[in-house]
Amino acid sequence: MADEKSRELSLYVQSKKVVTSFYRPPSHSGDVRYGPESGITVTMGRPPHLESDASPAADEAFFLSDDQARCVAMVEEVATKRGYAVKVTDVAKVGRLERLVTERLRGVQNFPVLIGPGDQRLEGCEAFTDERIAEMMPAEMTSLRAFTYLKVRGGDLVRIREILLAFREVRELHLLTGDWDVFVVLEFDGARNKKRQVLDFVTERIRGIPEVLDTSTLVPEYSVSKFPF
């Protein structure tokens, strides 16, 4: 299982500074901690009519572009589901010297930047896809996957394919050359006695197909996925 350090990522965003004459509450600096234990929290200013100490004066305000905000939301969603913590830093609000000497951001051209264990990184909004984000946060699988090799009698492979794919538990099917003819990926939800459930399905359903001569099944003890699920 992953240790706590390997479940921490850093997300750097870059907001834009503007000058506004609207009523605004005093700005508060500091990082925002993202993660399932602390909750996903975004601090925003309250409306002017709710602020008793606001004053009508020109002030600096920082706005995050919708593109970057969307990336933050995507990371937030995956981190919550997979038990990761993400530290968010707005580089527009830290000192210029500190930003320049931050080794992790040297050479960065586009924000946001997501940095994970082993210095894996995503840079720029276009790189933030569900697949790429999930790849940076591998997670233990909640469902059970098993793998079955089949030896089949020569015949109508299209028919065999259709029969196998009609089973809800069959997620993938691959035709092979060599000692085995077909490789099947099975998936079961909420399996308690996992080996018994898998082997019951293989012997009763798959072995019940007349063309199937033999099977060999592997049931993992532990599985981690980098794919979205």
- Summarised one tens digit per residue, pLDDT across range 83-100 is 999 999 888 887 665 665
Answer whether 161's CB lies under 8 Å from 155's CB: no
pLDDT for the residue numbered 165:
96
* Residue 152 banded pLDDT, cuts 50, 70, 90: very high
Rounded CA separation 63/16 (Å) = 5
Do the Cβ atoms of 17 and 62 come closer than 8 Å? yes
Other beta carbons within 10 angstroms of residue 221's beta carbon come to 6
Distance of alpha carbon 71 from alpha carbon 130, whole angstroms: 10
Coil, strand or helix at 148: strand
Q: Is the pLDDT of residue 39 over 50?
A: no
Q: What are phi and psi of 63, to 5 degrees?
A: -125, 135
- Which CATH class for the 141-225 domain? alpha beta
More confident: 104 or 218? 218
Residue 209 tokens, joined: 């197909």
pLDDT digit string, tens, across residues 91-148: 888 766 566 546 678 788 899 999 998 888 999 999 999 999 999 999 988 888 999 9
* pLDDT tens digits, one per residue of 154-169: 877 888 999 999 999 9
Per-residue pLDDT tens over the stretch 63-72 = 999 999 999 9
> How far is Cα 76 from Cα 188, in angstroms, rounded to an integer?
28
- Residue 203 has a CB neighbour count (10 Å cut-off) of 12
Alpha carbons 3 and 102: distance in angstroms, whole number: 25
The domain limits of the chain are 5-137, 141-225
In sequence order, the β-bridge partners of residue 121 are 115
Of 84 and 49, more confident: 84
Euclidean distance between CA atoms 104 and 95, whole angstroms? 15
